[in-house]
Amino acid sequence: MNERTVRGFTAGVAGRLGRAAAFSLLAGTVGGAAVLAGEAFVARHRRYAQPELGLALRATIGRAEAPPLRLVLLGDSSALGVGVDRLEDTIGGQLAHLLAEGPTGRRVHLSSVGVSGSRSTDLATQVARSLLGERPDVALILIGANDATGLRRPSDAAAYLGAAVHRLREARVEVVVGTCPDLGAVRAIAPPLRQVVGWSGRRMARAQTTAVLEAGGSVVDLASETGPVFRADAGTLCHDGFHPSADGYRVWAHALLPGVAAAATVATRR
């Protein structure tokens, strides 16, 4: 086999290997996209927990003689406590009890204007509703999961969140935001889509943090503080594998408590 033949043979093999690699890459890409599309279809058509219509969205918790605190929740299904059917198991109910029973016990007037399925674009309406009547002392915003699962641009979603925080701060309301939780912990979405959604959630949380701090609010990074617990314990999710259970909301409540308590202290000093 002369030099020219060797070169021709080598070039031919290289070409065939290159085409095979390109085909494999294309097939892998198409196959991966098909898997993600299939998982997205399944996730979209699962039966998820629905808001409990009989669940009170307003309650007063704590001793009658304790200093009052008006706490309003804004955001998505988590602000309503979707996944549980008792007020005391919701994120708001658990936070209110912790604030009432703490060393600086408060009489918490709790309300929620959250709407299941909400995205950051829906916050303007919720802010308007929260400011009707007597002004709240502290607003807790839980938003971002629906933005992330819908693969919305983090910067766009964060801009709407920042505007909501700014408006509440202008109304002299202390604001705490629980950023997008760890979506890589949900069981309702199968891998590898779960990893994609988890990545989207992390990007969302980073953008939210910047926007909230610039608008004068405070932030609790739910993914970092509670994600490992949710990943390790399936019992932190309710029957649908997506929304928190009573145990899950308890984990969130303890993570949010220091920030909400600090905001309540600031509001009291005004």
Q: Quick count: other Cβ atoms within 10 Å of Cβ 97?
A: 17
- Please give the torsion angle defined by the CA atoms of residues 159, 184, 149 and 214, in that order, rounded to the nearest 10 degrees: 0
The residue annotated as part of the active site, out of 85, 233, 240, 247, is 240
**CB 121 within 8 Å of CB 237:** no
Q: What confidence score (pLDDT) does residue 44 get?
A: 52
DSSP string, 192-260: THHHHHHHHHHHHHHHHHHHHHHHT-EEE-HHHHHHHHHHH-GGGB-TTSSSB-HHHHHHHHHHHHHHH
For residues 88-103, give the mean pLDDT: 94
- Examine the residue annotation and report whether 24 is marked as an active-site residue of this protein: no
Give the predicted TM-score (pTM) of the model.
0.84
Rounded CA-CA distance 53/76 in Å is 15
β-pair type (58-61, 107-112): antiparallel
Catalytic residue among 111, 122, 166, 243: 243
Q: What is the mean pLDDT of residues 246-266?
A: 97
Q: Catalytic annotation on 240?
A: yes
Check the CA dihedral 38-40-44-48 and report its sign: positive
Q: State pLDDT tens for residues 20-51.
A: 433 343 334 344 444 444 444 344 545 667 87
Active site residue 122: no
Q: How far apart are CA 70 and CA 171, in angstroms?
A: 14
Catalytic-labelled residue, pool 77, 111, 120, 245: 77
